[in-house]
Structure 1
């Protein structure tokens, strides 16, 4: 079992008292205290894994992919939906809002409840609720029923989003968690690529009800995946009672960790940069650059593929480049790309243009924008949740809720200058990238963690080379010498 000292949360966050200091090194009391500390650490790390079953990672990725699938797949059918139900375009837009509100509330409440009742029951029943509500959206006779069903669909679907992160945090830390989250995000990144293509292909043959039925069928598959492949990862002895009080207590405890707060806000800013792209790309490519729907869809698919590959590569590189360092590198890269992108938007994309070189530059900047975000997307949740200890469910809920608030706020901002201008998008991404980098300057890890990581890495290298055995054999002689020096210092008698 591999230990990750850099991400082990403080005793306060684990809900434990600080370990007592051993007084008088080398005494029986000191050795007993050390043994007790080791035993406590073993019990805390009993469920930690250095790897995950592929079936579990696939299940968690599919659970997290439901949100982009449920939001992006039916967007091409908005006009058909409005005509069929006899409602305005704004009412049709509310079906998306209702889903996102359900996701936000679900992330905040389900994570807290899972700290009390465990991960698996909430995952299973949340998936069942999302499936039943999904069927309701496909057969809804009116807009009111559709809105209610979409809200419940988001509420249930949030279970997979928030608890997938908590499951990984329960069973891993540090590099292992970063690699698992990166792999999950790489797999789930296929959803934003497939969803609009799938929706565009299905809207003609089956209409909006058929698209929502396909989404419901996918949610039914998720129920089977959870039942078969997702175990309980929060033992009964690590659960705690309470509802709203737990949320308040957990938020207060996590709020004392300034690094966790910073990571949560940086993660939300990165997500806001992603949603800014998702909201602005359609009208910038079509309304400003005059691209066809087929061409826009192709670029969208390439961007989705590239961010997926980037997340996967960063996860594979976590053993050589620490997640914290990747975050700093990624944020700097985001700022560099977005400064250039903002300049192009302000100077050349303030109105519709017809220029092939400018189109190529803009597409390249979109790809660079999402790729640099991919460097951070898997690492930020992993490092943040590695600090939550027994508040993993609450921490994951807060991470998702704040992320949604920032993303939901940024989305409408990119359209303030109209559908035929990229100025608002340029200003928005520049401000968000600057804010993320300013926060990162204050640190994405606790003071001294870098030194502890180096010490742990050196200890692992020594173990592989057998130097630890040599040190253990030489330790008694050095201990005796050290003890003699201590006696000399205490008594003031040379050679005592």
Structure 2
């Protein structure tokens, strides 16, 4: 029996989206759950605070690069087996981190977690594309909302184990989450097509219809990763916010995002994915203006201007990323895994380089705001021009 014939239809299995939702969380969890523990980890291994960035970079590199081979593999053998492999690798990396006797072993564990998360991420987006009509934004909007909410809530989830048992307990939480997900994903209906179509990477890269929506998703990733990179320095370093308050502010952002995300799926039935992405770019632009203004004069004295601007930009991410992802993957209906892998690798690679450049250049809230505003205007203008040319 073919994989496609085994796949329950969306109409008869309305809860199918819960499987990709669960899988997609391991990317933001892998990044943000560890944020409050970063200082404690560097102290434990007698490293300077600036070395904490390695905990992120050694996770992000395999998270991006691993999506290409795992995406192609999922087109060949199915989504569920690749998801199970990814969760097992993520859990193994967490065990390595939890028991790490040295800094180098800890970084090895983080790298293994990144490899595992690359598999779960590519399967999540591929499974949604398998179920979607070309360019459909609904399922991708749900994944984007979950990405946003998980990014915001992760630092809150790790606070209790961190304060009660120390930083190793955060890796213990990773182990528990991976085990629970493995149990659930075993029941996931496989959505890969029986043809097992695998596209060459070059064939995906030269598809011009995917260029603009892919650029929008990459910019959205740079926004969120840039925020994650500068938020601790701005809120805890410059403004003196405590770790619990830092987590609470992320939770507040999550509430805003979840409320906004609830509007995306209903809108996707009446508003085109292209126009939803344009709304997201407009919100990014306003966020950039807000950040730029907040840094003028004596700068910020309270967290709220920064938190408010980022909340608005996070709503923009919700509107831009999901529809952009759907549009970028629309031309590759028969090889969703391959396309998702290449797109995910590009997003993480370029966003990582952009974030590293921001950090190395000593990016301020103001310079970050100007960058966001500039890219929002450029991409929005290109989108409008392309729309007029199409008509």
Same fold (TM over 0.5): yes
How many residues are paired up?
Answer: 388
Counterpart residue number, 1:488: none
Q: Which moved more, 1:194-203 or 1:164-173?
A: 194-203
User: How big is the shift at 1:217?
Assistant: 1.0
Alignment of 1:339-378 (within 5 A): 339-345=289-295, 347-348=296-297, 353-354=300-301, 360-378=304-322
Partner-residue secondary structure (3-state), 2:101: coil
Counterpart residue number, 1:235: 193
TM-score, normalised on structure 2? 0.88
Q: Which moved more, 1:319-328 or 1:330-339?
A: 330-339
Contact 1:280 1:415 in 2 (8 A): yes
Partner-residue secondary structure (3-state), 1:375: helix
Contact 2:28 2:151 in 1 (8 A): yes
Q: How far apart are the structure 2 equivalents of 1:197 and 1:210? A: 14
User: How big is the shift at 1:88?
Assistant: 4.2
Distance 1:383 1:99, change over 3 A: same
Q: How far apart are the structure 1 equivalents of 2:17 and 2:102? A: 38
Counterpart residue number, 1:307: 257
1:189 is aligned, of 127, 130, 148, to 148
* Greater relative CO, 1 or 2 (CA 8 Å, sep 6+): 2
User: How big is the shift at 1:326?
Assistant: 1.1
Q: How far apart are the structure 2 equivalents of 1:168 and 1:133? A: 27
1:138 is aligned, of 98, 106, 115, to 98
User: How big is the shift at 1:253?
Assistant: 2.5
Question: 1:113 and 2:73 equivalent?
Answer: yes
Alignment of 1:398-477 (within 5 A): 398-415=342-359, 418=362, 421-443=364-386, 447=390
Contact 1:267 1:377 in 2 (8 A): yes
1:297 is aligned, of 241, 247, 253, to 247
Contact 1:162 1:396 in 2 (8 A): yes
User: How big is the shift at 1:427?
Assistant: 2.6
Q: How far apart are the structure 1 equivalents of 2:129 and 2:358? A: 34
CA RMSD of aligned residues (A): 2.9
Counterpart residue number, 1:79: 39
Q: How far apart are the structure 2 equivalents of 1:57 and 1:159? A: 17
User: How big is the shift at 1:341?
Assistant: 2.9
Contact 2:8 2:189 in 1 (8 A): no
What are the superposed Cα offsets for residues 41-82 of structure 1, whole Å, 9 maximum, x if unpaired? xxx999795558354322211211112212222222223323
Alignment of 1:170-185 (within 5 A): 170-174=130-134, 177-185=136-144
User: How big is the shift at 1:187?
Assistant: 3.5
2:278 is aligned, of 311, 318, 328, to 328
Contact 2:45 2:103 in 1 (8 A): yes
Q: How far apart are the structure 2 equivalents of 1:225 and 1:155? A: 20
Q: How far apart are the structure 2 equivalents of 1:199 and 1:400? A: 26
Q: How far apart are the structure 1 equivalents of 2:49 and 2:163? A: 19
Distance 1:360 1:77, change over 3 A: closer
User: How big is the shift at 1:199?
Assistant: 2.2
Q: How far apart are the structure 2 equivalents of 1:46 and 1:139? A: 41
Q: How far apart are the structure 2 equivalents of 1:377 and 1:312? A: 15
User: How big is the shift at 1:291?
Assistant: 4.3
Distance 1:361 1:210, change over 3 A: closer
Q: How far apart are the structure 2 equivalents of 1:360 and 1:132? A: 39
Contact 1:288 1:353 in 2 (8 A): no
Q: How far apart are the structure 2 equivalents of 1:151 and 1:114? A: 21
User: How big is the shift at 1:211?
Assistant: 0.8
Query: Structure 2 regions of 5+ residues with no counterpart?
Result: none
2:203 is aligned, of 227, 248, 253, to 253
2:337 is aligned, of 393, 397, 421, to 393
